[in-house]
């Protein structure tokens, strides 16, 4: 009996490891409006916080059993250290899988951190999970140029 149980766990582990997929559909770019229209008095910094659309990125997850989605900044090109990028899940999407966490902003750094988790079974999935971004630290003091950051999402089994 012990061997049958061990065999079943081993087979289940193989299917779990090979069956996890995540599909990302993103708006790719996000343009921030100029701060010049809000300047009314000389000498003020006019710091600004900007948020993307509530569904800037859409996730589709197919996996067996439980999984964790982590997020981190993997590339920042010409990124000013005063800029802070945040991410949050703004909805559940469609499907019958159970999602947990990710509904408040987390600041992205170069270190992967848990964004949210899911619990699936053989018939469960989640499609069109909406993700929103926020940038803090925008200022008239920042040089005018294009700032680029790459966010990496990784799915792994629990």
pLDDT in tens, 22-36: 666 655 566 665 555
Q: Which residues pair with 4 in a beta bridge?
A: none
- Gap between the Cα atoms of 33 and 31, Å rounded: 6
pTM for the full predicted model: 0.77
The pLDDT assigned to 133 comes to 93
Judge whether 49 and 135 are in contact, CB under 8 Å: yes
Q: Report the relative pairing of strands 148-157 and 57-62 from DSSP bridges.
A: unpaired
What H or E segment, with its residue span, contains residue 11? Answer: helix 2-18
């Amino acid at each position: 009996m012990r061997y049958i149980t061990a065999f079943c766990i081993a087979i289940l582990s193989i299917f779990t490891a090979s069956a996890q997929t995540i599909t990302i559909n993103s708006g790719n770019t996000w343009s921030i409006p100029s701060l010049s229209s809000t300047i009314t008095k000389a000498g003020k910094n006019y710091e600004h916080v900007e948020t993307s659309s509530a569904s800037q990125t859409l996730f589709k997850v197919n996996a067996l059993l439980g999984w964790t989605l982590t997020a981190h900044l993997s590339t920042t090109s010409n990124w000013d250290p005063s800029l802070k990028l945040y991410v949050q899940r703004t909805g559940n999407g469609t499907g019958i899988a159970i999602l947990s966490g990710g509904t408040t902003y987390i600041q992205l750094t170069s270190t992967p951190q848990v964004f949210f988790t899911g619990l699936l079974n053989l018939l469960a999935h989640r499609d069109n999970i909406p993700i929103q971004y926020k940038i803090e630290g925008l200022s008239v003091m920042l040089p005018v140029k294009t700032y680029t950051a790459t966010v990496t999402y990784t799915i792994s089994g629990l």
